[in-house]
Chains A and B, each alone.
Chain A
Amino acid sequence: MELLANLAKGFEAALAPEPLLFCFIGVTIGTFVGALPGVGAMAAVAICLPITFYLDPMVALIMLAGIFYGAQYGSSIASILLNIPGTVTAAVTCLDGYPLTKQGRAGPALFITTITSFVGGSIAILLLMCFAPLIAAFALRFSSAEYFSIMLLGLVAGSTLALGSPLKGLAMVVLGVALGIVGTDINTGMSRFTFGVLDLRDGLNLVAVAMGLFGVAEILASVGRGRTVVVDPKSINMRSLIPTRQDIRESIMPTLRGTAVGSAIGALPGSGAVIATFMSYALEKRVSRNPAKFGRGAIEGIAAPEAANNAAVQAAFIPTLSLGIPGDALTAVLLGAMMIHGIVPGPQFITEHAVTFWGLVASFWIGNVLLLVLNIPLIGIWVRLLAIPYHLLYPATLFFICIGVYAINNNVFDIYTAIAFGAIGYLMSSYQYPAAPLLLGFILGPMMEEHLKRALLISQGDFMVFLQRPISLTFLLVTTLLLLLAARPFFKSALARTRAAQL
C-alpha cells in the first residue's frame, strides 16, 4: 500500500513539534476569525503571511491551510447564535440555525454542525489523498492547450456557479485577468499598464489586492450598520450541547449528501464553498418529505450546508495541489504563498515535494481532530468572543491588514494598493459584482496568457489545437455547458416574451 506508506511519512513529518505547533496555531486563528463576523479567513492570512516567511515552507503551508479550514468550523457559531454569518460560507446556516437558537436548542445545533463539519472535511481529505496524486500523474502529459482550457473552465465555473448575476461574475473575471497583465511582459520585457509608476513594474501585489477586496471592503460594508448583539455565554456549556437521538438520525443522510455536493463543487477548479452550501441546502429542501420545516429550525438545514462547506474547502486542495490551479479564491491566495516560498505549483509538486504534500495532508487530519476539541469542549470561549464589540475589532483588523501587507515587501505602495482595492471592492459589492472571480482571474490571468501564447506558437497560430486534443476539447465542452446553463434565464424570458406577444 503505497498510499499508506506515503501517509505514514506525512504523519512523521507533520507530527514533529514545529508543524504540530503551527497546525494548532493555524486552526485556532481560523476558528477565531471564523467565529468573528466581519473578519474573514482572507484577512487572517494577510496577517500571518509575513510570519510564515520565517518558517519552513511545509510548516507555513500547514499553518495557512489550517486558517482556511478552521474558519469553516468557527463560522457556524455566529450564524447559529446571532443570525449573522461568521463568514459568507455560513450564510445558509443562519436560515435554520438561528430558529434553533430561538427554540433554546443552540447547543445541539453547535454540536451537530461541528460533527458534520468533521465528517464532510474527512471524506474530502480521503478523496484528496486518493485522487490528487492520480490527477497529477495524468496532468504531467498536459500541454499548454490543456492548461489553457482547464483554466478557462475554472474561470467560467468560478463566475457562473455563484450567487447573483452570472454576467457580472464573467465581467469581473475578465477584469481580473486584465489586472494580471499589469507589469513587465515576460516575453518582451515591455512594461504594460504601468503608466510610468515604478512600483507597478512587478505587477500588483496579490496579497494586497486580496486584502483590499476581502479585508478592507468587508469592513467598509459592515461599519456603522449597528450589529452589536449580546449573547449569554453561560447558556452554552458541555451538557447543553448533547443532541437527541432523533437529531443524529436526521442529520446522517443530509451530512453525506452535503459532503457529496461540497466535494464535487470544491474539486472543480474555480468554484468554491459558498455556492456548495446553497446548492446542498436547496437539495435537502427538495428531497425532504416535509419541506415546510426548513427555515424553522430543521436539523437537515444546518447539517448539509456545514458538511458541504468543509468538504468544499478541503476538496479545493485537489486541483490546487495536483494541477496548480486554485479550487477557489482562498486556495488561490495559498498558491501565491507557495510561490513566495519558492515552491512552483503544478503536477510535479506532489512528486518533487512528496514530503511537503503528504505532510500537509497529514496535517489536515491532525487539524480536523484539533478542531473537534476546540469546537466541542472549548465552545464557550468562542461564544464569549462574540461579545467583543465591533467598534474595537475593526480598527484592530485594519491595523493588522496594513502592517501585514507592508511587511511582505517593506513597501508602502502595497498598502495603497490594498486601500484602492478596498474602495473598489466596496463599490463592487454595493452593486453585487462579486470579488472572488476577480481575484481568481488576477491569479490565473498571467498563466493563461503564457499558455495561450505557447499553444498557438506550437500550432502555428491555429486555434483548432484547442479542439483537436481530446482532453482540451472536453474541458471546453464543459465550459460551454456552464455558459449555456448560465444563459438559460435569458432564453426563458425571451421565450416568455414571444409567447406573450403571440397571445
Chain B
Amino acid sequence: MIPSRSLNSGEIAAALVVCALGGFLIWQGSGYPLGSLNRMGPGFFPVGLGIILMGFGAALVLEVKRLDTPPPEWHVRSFVAIMAGLLAFALMLEPFGLVPATVALAVLSSLGDPPLRPRAIAATALALAGIGYFVFLRGFGVQLDAFRW
C-alpha cells in the first residue's frame, strides 16, 4: 500500500520546495512595512500568503505517504535542446536580428527529437524565418531588424 521510499523522494522534495517558497515570502515580505489591520502595509499580504503556503507545504509533506503517483520520466535531451533554442532566440534577437535568432531556435530545438533530419530542419528554419520576416516584420510592423551586426 505504501509505495517504496525512492518513489516518494521527488514528491517530498516538491513539497519541501513549497514550504521553502512560503518561508521566502515571509522573510522577504517582513522587510516591507506591515502596517495594521485597518491600514495594511505592503508587507501584510505577502507575509500572510507565506504563512498559508507554508501550511499547505507542511500538509503536502504529510500527504506524500498517501500518493502513489509514478515518478516522472525525464527526457534530458529534448529539455536541453528546447531550452537552448529558446535562450538562443532571446539572446540573439536584438543583437543579431530576427532571421539569425529564428534559425538558431529552429535548429537547436529540432535536435531535441531524434533522429536527426537535416533537410526537415533546414526547411523549418527557412520557412519560419520567412514567416517572421513577411508576416511579423512587414505585416504587423513589429519593431525588429531582420539582420543586424
A residues lining the B interface (CB < 8 Å): 50-51, 54, 165, 167-168, 170-171, 174-175, 177-178, 181, 185, 187-188, 190, 192-193, 216, 219-220, 223-225, 390-392, 394-396, 398-399, 402-403, 406-407, 410, 412, 415-416, 418-419, 422-423, 426, 430-433, 449, 452-453, 456-457, 459-463, 489, 493
CB pairs A–B below 8 angstroms (6 shown): A50-B142, A167-B63, A220-B82, A223-B75, A396-B127, A415-B89
Q: Answer whether A395 and B110 are a contact pair too, CB < 8 Å, given A403-B132, A453-B40, A493-B66.
A: yes
6 tightest A-B CB contacts, nearest first:
A461-B37, A461-B38, A430-B72, A224-B78, A223-B78, A171-B56
Chain B positions within 8 Å of A430 at CB level? 72, 74
Choose one: A178, A426, A460; the contact of B53 (CB below 8 Å). A178
Choose one: A51, A432, A457; the contact of B38 (CB below 8 Å). A457
Chain A positions within 8 Å of B39 at CB level? 457
- How would residues 125 to 140 of chain B score, 1 for a CB under 8 Å from any chain A CB and 0 otherwise? 1011001100010001
Q: Is the CB of B110 within 8 A of A175?
A: no
Q: Is the CB of B10 within 8 A of A402?
A: no
Cα separation A392 to B125 with both chains bound (whole Å): 10
Q: Is the CB of B124 within 8 A of A419?
A: no
Cα separation A453 to B66 with both chains bound (whole Å): 38
- How would residues 12 to 42 of chain B score, 1 for a CB under 8 Å from any chain A CB and 0 otherwise? 0010001001000100110011001111111
Choose one: A174, A192, A391, A456; the contact of B117 (CB below 8 Å). A391
Q: Is the CB of A175 within 8 A of B53?
A: yes
Chain A positions within 8 Å of B112 at CB level? 223-224
**Interfacial residues of chain B within 104-148, with CB under 8 A of chain A in the complex:** 105-106, 109-110, 112-114, 117, 120, 124-125, 127-128, 131-132, 136, 140, 142-144
Choose one: A181, A403, A423, A459; the contact of B46 (CB below 8 Å). A181
Chain A facing B: main interface SS: helix
Q: Is the CB of A399 within 8 A of B128?
A: yes
Chain A nearest CB: distance from B54 CB in Å?
Answer: 10
Q: Is the CB of A399 within 8 A of B106?
A: yes
Chain B nearest CB: distance from A501 CB in Å?
Answer: 15
Cα separation A96 to B99 with both chains bound (whole Å): 45
Given A192-B29, A399-B89, 4 new contacts (CB under 8 A): A174-B53, A391-B117, A415-B93, A456-B37
Chain B positions within 8 Å of A402 at CB level? 86, 89-90, 105
Chain B positions within 8 Å of A224 at CB level? 75, 77-78, 112-114
Q: Is the CB of B45 within 8 A of A452?
A: yes
Chain B positions within 8 Å of A489 at CB level? 66
Choose one: A392, A410, A493; the contact of B142 (CB below 8 Å). A410
Q: Is the CB of A399 within 8 A of B105?
A: yes
Cα separation A21 to B142 with both chains bound (whole Å): 23
Closest B-chain residue to A221, C-beta based? Answer: B75
Q: Is B4 an interface residue (CB 8 A)?
A: no
Chain B positions within 8 Å of A216 at CB level? 82, 86
Q: Is B100 an interface residue (CB 8 A)?
A: no
Which of A187, A392, A407, A452 has the most chain B CB atoms inside 10 A of its CB?
Answer: A392
A-B contact count (CB 8 A): 162
Cα separation A395 to B131 with both chains bound (whole Å): 13
Q: Is the CB of A190 within 8 A of B59?
A: no
Chain A positions within 8 Å of B18 at CB level? 171, 175
Q: Is the CB of A192 within 8 A of B46?
A: yes
Chain A positions within 8 Å of B40 at CB level? 452-453, 456
Cα separation A345 to B26 with both chains bound (whole Å): 32
Chain A positions within 8 Å of B132 at CB level? 399, 403
Closest A-chain residue to B82, C-beta based? Answer: A220
Q: Is the CB of A407 within 8 A of B142?
A: yes
Q: Is the CB of B124 within 8 A of A395?
A: yes
Q: Is the CB of A177 within 8 A of B49?
A: yes
**Interfacial residues of chain B within 53-109, with CB under 8 A of chain A in the complex:** 53, 56-57, 59-60, 63, 66-67, 69, 72, 74-75, 77-79, 81-83, 85-87, 89-90, 93-94, 98, 102, 105-106, 109
Q: Is B52 an interface residue (CB 8 A)?
A: yes
Closest A-chain residue to B75, C-beta based? Answer: A224
Q: Is the CB of A219 within 8 A of B82?
A: yes
Closest A-chain residue to B93, C-beta based? Answer: A412
Q: Is the CB of B75 within 8 A of A178?
A: no
Chain B positions within 8 Å of A407 at CB level? 136, 140, 142
Q: Answer whether A392 and B124 are a contact pair too, CB < 8 Å, given A223-B112, A403-B136, A453-B40.
A: yes
Chain A positions within 8 Å of B102 at CB level? 399
Q: Is the CB of B94 within 8 A of A460?
A: no
Q: Is the CB of A431 within 8 A of B42?
A: no
Q: Is the CB of A406 within 8 A of B78?
A: no
Chain B positions within 8 Å of A395 at CB level? 85, 105-106, 109-110, 124-125, 128
Chain B positions within 8 Å of A177 at CB level? 49
Chain A nearest CB: distance from B15 CB in Å?
Answer: 8
Cα separation A54 to B142 with both chains bound (whole Å): 12
Chain B positions within 8 Å of A403 at CB level? 98, 132, 136, 142
Cα separation A399 to B93 with both chains bound (whole Å): 12
Cα separation A159 to B139 with both chains bound (whole Å): 41
Choose one: B66, B72, B75, B79; the contact of A431 (CB below 8 Å). B72
